[in-house]
Amino acid sequence: MINQFELYDIRILVYICITHVYIHIQNIIWNFLYIISRILLHKTTSLPRAIDVKTRHGREDVSNIVKLPLHSDRDIAYYGNITIGTPPQKFTVIIDTGSANLWVPSINCVDSNRACKKHNKYDSSKSSTYIPDNTGFKIDYVSGSVGGHFSTDVVNIAGFDVENQTFGEAVTEANVFENAAYDGLLGMSYSNISIEGVTPLFANIVKQHKIISIFSFYINRHVSFYPNITWAGELIFGGSDPRFRIGPFTYVDVSKKGYWQFTMDKVKMEDQILCANSCEAVVDTGTTLIIGPPTDITIINERIGAIYYTNYSTEMDCDKTSNLPDIDFIVGGFKKLRLSSDDYIVRHKLNNVTVCMSAFESDPPDDDGQFFWTLGDVFLRRYYTEFDMLHDRIGFACAK
């Protein structure tokens, strides 16, 4: 199986004395804070070290970049608008650098599938540019699956008309998608992990519209502090925007094409060194939290006072989240990508109850017994990130 990811509910235990009130609030939280995290497959047991740290200086030409505004599903997922077909049918899709395929719900949803029925659905009979394909597809998730068949049509994103784009029409979806604010998913990883060898949307944009094969992902982290702000960030095709960053990019080479994977030197918290002999990491916009090996994550969570109430989920005393240590992700032997407690403590207010949890979760090893780090949106809110297929590298810069 490839291109799999798991969608975790964040089960945050709220201590309330009255039993029926406790159950009510807990159910609200479980439904509200579903979290996207991914099982990464097809990992090698011995990857060559391929770190190349560079910085970019000077003035940059932003005249050829094209921007897709992003919306936030409560800081859990980031999605944008696309259309498919002629005349255009509107959809919202989560931006996912951990997979390569595009899929949206189909008008032919299975009647009993609530997740599919509750979202916008593609109707091929209403599009004059529809080309049938009918190759079946299925993506397995921890909590279920998405399945259906491929179709081909014109897709419009950020003003680009992308002709003859093959995408998935989902007729069944896992229940975890039922309350999602978005309809489908847009994969932005390398084409070699695309299901059935389908050419990814971004590859067709590059080919048809002659832009360079670089895109960047910016999250407006101020949305959390100012609820009236609706602009949650941007997906930028053809490069990056220097107005979104402080200082130059630090680049690391992609260590294995497929996912946006690179070699990380170490993780440092005070005098504690994790990932001491280097480790592989993946940058994934489709994952909310930061995922790591169980041993390392346990060390971090114990130090910051996070208490486990399931094997994966934690809770924290919101009054004890100040004066916690910074955590440094070190690349290139010296460059520190630092997160403070303001970054890695997740806070939400529900029914006047403030809930806090650690942004660090653990995953089991892959099929080869290897542990990986996954840097999700918690990390990307602090670091504006450039994904460069032209030079097979990833750039990090402190986000404004």
17 CB burial (10 A radius; 0-12, 13-18, 19+): exposed
**Which positions ≥6 away from 375 have C-beta within 8 Å?**
281, 282, 283, 284, 287, 290, 329
**Selected catalytic residue, list 284, 343, 363, 388:** 284
- Output phi, psi for 22, to 5 deg: -55, -50
Q: Is 189 helix (H, G, I), strand (E, B) or coil?
A: coil
Residue 303, token pair as written in the block: 């130090």
Q: Is 143 helix (H, G, I), strand (E, B) or coil?
A: coil
* Residue 153 designated active-site: no
Let me know: does 200 contact 99? Beta carbons within 8 Å. no
**Selected catalytic residue, list 73, 75, 96, 388:** 96
Let me know: does 103 contact 135? Beta carbons within 8 Å. no
CA distance 305 to 287: 23
CA distances from 56 to 161, 386, 388 (A): 31, 12, 13
Of the candidates 240, 87, 70, 241, the one whose C-alpha atom is nearest the C-alpha of residue 161 is 87
Produce one character per residue of 339-360: b if its CB has 16 or more CB atoms within 10 Å, e if not: bebebbbbebeeeeeebbbbbb
Residue 384, token pair as written in the block: 């504006």
* Residue 284 designated active-site: yes
Question: Which residues lie across from 215 on neighbouring strands?
Answer: 237, 387
How much of the chain is in helix, strand and coil states, percent to nearest 5? 15, 40, 40
Q: Are strands 290-292 and 360-362 parallel, antiparallel or unpaired?
A: parallel
| Cis peptide bond upstream of 248, omega within 30 | no
- Output phi, psi for 330, to 5 deg: -105, 130
Question: Which residues lie across from 183 on neighbouring strands?
Answer: none
- Just list the catalytic residues: 96, 284
